[in-house]
Structure formats: structure tokens, C-alpha cells
Chains A and B, each alone.
Chain A
Amino acid sequence: MPYDPSDPLKDRITDIGPRYYKEFYPPVIEKNRGKWVYHEIIEPGVLVHVAESGDEVYTVRVGGCRLMSIEHIREICEIADKHCDGYLRFTTRNNIEFMVDAKHKVKPLMDDLKNRKFSGGSNKFPIGGTGACVTNIVHTQGWIHCHTPAIDASGVVKSVMDGIFEDFGQMRLPAQVRVSLACCLNMCGAVHCSDIAILGIHRKPPMVDHEWIDKLCELPLAIAACPTAAIKPAKTAEGLKTLEINHERCMFCGNCFTMCGAMPLADEVGSGVAILVGGKISNRISKPKFSKVVIPFIPNEPPRWETTVKAVKNILTVYASDAKKYERIGEWAARIGWERFFEKTGIPFTHHLIDDYRFAYTTWRQSTQFKF
């Protein structure tokens, strides 16, 4: 029976969760699950995993746009049907992985992938994203679907990936470089531990829609949402209940707007990009690290965000030429010292980069050890 709008609760099924993952394994994965012995990257974008049984699975990794049409997904299915017995997987970083169970199946698959282009000429399925490379940028919605962004997401990612495309398909960097983008401080994309983070920030305090705010919002919630206590109750000349913002105390986090839509803060010139570097997730060699703000603001430059692309490329290039093998960006910067990081990258050091929030003191230098 199809859905009956007049009786929406009829035959209702709830709380059944996701499909069981084992339904979707290619046979070679099903057979060798938990019995893999080692892996190798045989060329950029191509992995082989070898099992105790001697079985091999070859994975061809391709970059994907997180925003994907069903026409495109159907094309992915067509490729997987043709080469991969009807199975595939996606990675955490929005890459697509096509898997085959024998080496001779790899080349026809790769040739097929390489030949597919979008009407505008871009690659549908660029191969890469393995080893010491820049893999796909994880990102948020931006102007395509979100109400709080300071910047676009998909367009900035497209522009940056075009700019550093060679390093997606090659493995010539000292270590892997994880680039992430979040279009506001809410960080749906959690970019606070990325080698290079592109973050949308605001620089103008919220405007208060005095006429509507008391009708649209719970005022105490908006007041409580402010981490610096910059918001207090007020009344308009007409006697309407409203809020007043102490602009000096606003750090532009946008948390009030999340609670109350009558306090918009995005702005054509006020909002833009901040660049953070040196974060990592992995426990390899050094501990996980937060990313640090190195460029406080770059204006929004649609459609190609030239200054942002240039900034990312510059950091990547200087890092690639100066870091030691295995060194992540944050480990490199810590070894050479941040004073050298700014010197080598030519990025100006301004007062915006000195912390003045909760744990500020822990980031200042309590030592006479520094470099001239």
C-alpha cells in the first residue's frame, strides 16, 4: 500500500536504522574481512590490499564532489556494474572507491574513469588522493543550502582543488595534507584539526531586527547564547522588547544568530575567509593538534576566490620545499618555529593572530628561546 496522506500513521515503520553494512560487500571483501595482511599504493590513487588467503583487492580512488546529482550517482553505478561486480564505497573525505579483485581489471577501469568528463570539460572522476598528497577537501554547505555561512563552500573547494590539482594526483609532498573547509564557526566540517583549514568568519556584529525579534525569538535564549555576555535586554522607543549588543565585546561567533534568526550578521564585505594551518588528527609521531589562525581575513571573491587559492598554494609550496619526510605541516612549523613559518611563507603577522580568548596565555611565549 502506498502512503496515505489522510492516515499518516497507518502501517508506520520507525526505528529500523541503517541497512546492515555486510549486505554491501564485494565478494572479495566479504571473504577476506579481518584477514588483511598489508597494503601498498601501486600508483597514485591505486591501492592493493593483500589478504592471508593470497587474495588481492585493488582500489581505485577518485575525487568526488560532495554535492552530487542522482544522474551522476547513476553513472557511478554504471561504472561499478561494468568493472566492479556492482559494488563501491565512499570514503570519509568524499572520495569514491572502485574495487576490483584482480590486477588486470585495474587498467580498463582507470581508462574508463579517465575518459569521463563533464560538459564544461572538468574530470568526472580524477584518480588520486592517496599517500603523501592533498586529498579531497571535506566541506560544508555554504551558500548552496545553509543559513549561517560567511562564505560559499562548494565553489571555494572547486577553486582551491583546481589550484592544487597536481598534488591530488601525485605523491610528492613530505606527508599527507588534509585540507578542510567550514563556512562558519559552527564548523559542521570540524576543520579545527586540519593541515590547512579554510574557515568562513564574520567581522560585523549582528543587526537586530527590533520590530520582529520578540515575535521570532526567545530573547533569554539569545542572551544566554552569547559567550562574552555582549547581549542584554532593551526596549525600543516604541516600547517593544528587543536586545542590545555591546559591539566592543562581540567576537562574531554567530551563536546568537543560530538561536535567533532576527539577528543576521553575514555581510558582503564583513564576511570572508580565515586560513588556519598545522592541525592533525593522527597520533602518528606527534600528538593530535589544533589548527592555528595564520591569515585572519581574506575577502569573499566569487566565483574563483583567487586570493584564497593563492594563499593555500603558497603555504603548500613552502611546506613542500622545506619540510622533512613524514613531517606534517604542524610538525614542520613547530620544528622551525612559528617565527620562521611567517618568514618563509611571507605571511604578515598581525595582532589578530595573538590569542585573547579562554586559553590565550597557553599560546604566548614564556621563554627566551626564540629565533632572530
Chain B
Amino acid sequence: MGKHKTPMLDELEKGPWPSFVSDIKQQAEKGKQALKDAPDDLLGVMELSYKDKVTHWKHGGIVGVFGYGGGVIGRYCDQPEKFPGVAHFHTMRVNQPASKFYSTKFLRDLCNLWERYGSGLTNMHGSTGDIIFLGTTTDNLERVFYDMTHELNQDLGGSGSNLRTPSCCVGLARCEWACYDTEEACHELTMEYQDELHRPAFPYKFKFKFDGCPNGCVAAIARADMSVIGTWKDDIRIDQAAVKAYVGGEIKPNGGAHAGKDWGKFDIVEEVVRLCPTGCMSWDGSTLKINNRECTRCMHCLNVMPRALRPGTETGASILFGAKAPILEGAQLSTLTIPFIRMEPPFEELKELVNKVWDWWMEEGKNRERLGELIQRESFQKFLEIMELSPDPRMVSEPRSNPYIFWKEEEVEGGWTRDIKDFRAKHQR
């Protein structure tokens, strides 16, 4: 029996999906966390929210560790007398290793650290990718940070108006489609920009995300101010014998992803050739042909026949800018800006882009204006000028339909200075 009665939360112990309520209770009963009452009081304040149908956490609070402006989110309960165990309940963001592989040794070290100073509760992981230490008091923040850096060789992640902790897909570690080394790019840029990650100097948040291919497993195109998405320039590699094996039913299509329902015999024409968005494929009964020049690398055929088709070998990334959630001007997806760059460590070309973007955004961006909104406000043309890039039809879905072109004076023969007297000499008033 816990410290508080939680009849509503107890309902969430039922059912097959893992119950976070049972888990918090387990920590309350068995755990040896420093903030002994935190799990119990967290359940208590949650139960109160379930009753009241509103949150009981207060707005903000500026707390942190010396010298950093990010990585710690202040949080206070608005009913501290009832729930003293969570009266101060600050979050610490811990920068996850790229692609989130762990040794049990390191995970246990993290657990021990958090047991020593915190609530014993975490998020594995937060939305941006960090390991989240959920709830501790102000005086423990420095202790966690000291031990984490000294004993675990591990740093905090980002929060506030700074570079947020970058994240990436599983990449080369365990995927055949990764067109560049997403983990190395993620780690390298995280290390390069430690100052920007810890010390807020931006108009608002800035996110990098690294997807190895256009399937987009970390959602770079929707979530990152700079989306780095793997792609290739040359031909899809085809193993015609394996194609035949798919057609003959010897290999399950889509890696077996549809095995739970009888969709009938695999039909390469219906399921691959006709679904190709550019119509660049054909099947004559024995050979699959791809007109690679017309291919837009949507990944469908590769996804359906992973043993027969592989990305080309001239690989790199497309760079897109400006994605964000709706606050404020509405949600945006990233816009294709650089169709292709090579992605080799230490990613100097990528860093040059980052520096140009930041110089401009830090100069021109308004408070809480994301890069995507600045590009909209100032125009994509302006953005290209800043980036020193030439316009390319790949950057747009279609050309503009209105003729309101902001011509520049130097583009117009003779400039804009004219004399009305010359005009009047030929045209009566």
C-alpha cells in the first residue's frame, strides 16, 4: 500500500501494455532512491490531476548547473505541502550516445547515479533523444553533474534556446540502407558544437537530426531545423536472381512485414512497378529494369525487396532546412536546399553550412523564431543568398504562380533611376 490512495491510477495497472503506474509503485516499494518519497508523491500528485483534470506543475523556474544555460528544466509542484517528495522536481537531460546502444555496465552506472541523487525515475528517452533524469532538488543538481562528468565521463544535453541534443537513426550499426555514417555525423557535430549546446545564444531552439535514408526513422524532415537525410546518386544495385526469388515466392516481400494477413501471391507489377511514383521501372517476366535517371529514391522498391535491391554506392546526403511543430506560424516540414553533399568525417562541408545558417539566424531571427519561420519571413531567395547557393528547380515543388517578383535594381538594365522630365518630354500630363 502506497503513501497515497490512487484509485484512478490503479485502473492503469490493468490491461496488457506495460503499466507505468505499476513501475512507479515498484520503485516506491523497492527502490533506494535519495528522494525516498518521490515515487509515492508523484503518484499522489498524478492522482490529484486525474481528479482535477489539470496539471499540478508550476510554470518554469530558472535552475541549472554553473556555466551551463541548458540541460536542466526547473519544475515545482503547485501543491508542495501535500506532496513534499516532489515539491522540487527538476529534470536533467543527459546526452544519449548516438543511436542509443548501451552496455549494461553504463546503464547501471546511470541508475546508481540517479539513485544516489534523484527520484529513481527516468524517461528512456525524451522526445529529442536525451536520457531524462526525472525529478531532483536544486541542491542535488551540481552533485549529479559532478559525479556524471567525473565518474561516468558523461555530459548533459541541451534545452532552451540552444542547440538541442542531436539524434540519429541506427545507421551503419545495423541497417543496410544507411547512405552515410549517421552515428559518426551525430557524434561529431555534437562534440563540435558543445558550446552552442550548453550555452543558449540563439533566438530559439535548433535541432539537427540525421536519417540514413529517405525512410526517415528519426523523422528528421519533420522535426529538425537542419535535416540530414541519406541518399545516393548512382544506380540502385539489382540482384536479378533475388528479384526472381521474390516473384517466385521464395522470399517474403517487404522483409515479411505483412505476414499477419493473407494478401495473396506477391505481384511485382502491382506491388512494385505500378506503385513506383515516377513510373521508372518495368518487369518483363524475367528482368526488372530501372531507369535510374528518373528515380526519386523513395525507397519503396528497396523496402519491398531488400534482398534484391540496394542503394547505389555513390552515397551522401540531402540537406533540408526549417522543420518545426506548429508553434507559432504553423507546422513546417524541412525544405530541400542542398540536393547532395558527400558525408565523410569530419564533415567539414556540413559544418560550414551550419556556421552560415547560425550567423544569419542569430543576426536576423526574432525572439522565439525558428529558422523555418525566418526563411519564410525573409524569403527562400534571401536564404540562398546567405548560404551562397544557386537556385535549383529541385528546391521547389513548382515555380511560383504569382508574378510578384522582387526584382533587384542591378538585375534591371539601366537601374531604377529615371528622370520624370524625360518622360514628360514625350508624354503630356
Contacts and interface: CB of A to CB of B under 8 A. Distances in A.
B218 A92 contact: yes
A314 interface: no
B166 to A, nearest CB: 9
B330 interface: yes
Nearest to A227: B328
Contact of A124 (B18, B125, B260, B327): B18
A122 B149 CA distance: 37
B169 interface: yes
A78 B310 CA distance: 37
A145 B91 contact: yes
Residue among B20, B31, B114 having the largest count of chain A Cβ atoms under 10 Å: B20
Nearest to A178: B219
A17 B190 contact: yes
A123 B17 contact: yes
Contacts of B235: none
Nearest to B270: A325
A86 B218 CA distance: 25
Interface stretch (B49-57, B343-351, B383-391, B405-413): B49-57
Nearest to B178: A34
B97 A63 contact: no
Contacts of B277: 285-286
Interface string A1-32: 01101001101111111111101111001000
Interface string B164-196: 000101101111101001010001001100110
Contacts of B263: 325
Interface string B1-19: 0000000111111111111
A318 interface: no
Interface string A179-200: 0001001111111110000000
Given A34-B178, A40-B256, A155-B9, 18 more contacts: A8-B142, A11-B150, A18-B98, A41-B257, A49-B176, A57-B174, A70-B27, A72-B27, A77-B104, A91-B170, A96-B124, A99-B174, A126-B16, A145-B75, A147-B60, A152-B50, A268-B53, A282-B216
A25 B60 contact: no
B215 interface: yes
A284 interface: yes
A349 interface: no
B143 interface: yes
A358 B26 CA distance: 48
Q: SS class of chain A's interface: helix, strand, loop or mixed?
A: loop
A165 interface: yes
Interface residues of A, number: 142
Contacts of A121: 13-14
Interface residues of B, number: 145
A290 B333 contact: yes
Contacts of B91: 145
15 contacts: A9-B66, A18-B96, A21-B187, A25-B101, A69-B122, A77-B111, A80-B104, A96-B124, A119-B26, A146-B55, A171-B256, A191-B325, A258-B327, A266-B54, A284-B215
B53 to A, nearest CB: 4
Interface string A142-175: 1111111100101100110110010010111100
Interface stretch (B284-292, B300-308, B355-363, B418-426): B300-308
Contacts of A237: none
B24 interface: yes
Given A71-B30, A131-B254, A118 B19 contact: yes
A132 interface: yes
B405 to A, nearest CB: 21
B255 A89 contact: no
A242 interface: no
B19 A120 contact: yes
A302 interface: yes
Ranked nearest first, the 10 interchain pairs of A and B with the lowest CB-CB distance are A120-B13, A261-B59, A131-B257, A162-B15, A187-B325, A118-B22, A172-B260, A69-B27, A161-B17, A171-B260
Nearest to A34: B172
Contact of A21 (B101, B115, B256, B298): B101
Contacts of B214: 282-284
A89 B56 contact: no
Interface string B134-168: 11000100110011011011110100000000010
Contact of A20 (B89, B169, B187): B187
A345 B394 CA distance: 38
B50 A24 contact: no
A300 interface: yes
A138 B18 contact: no
A350 B169 CA distance: 39
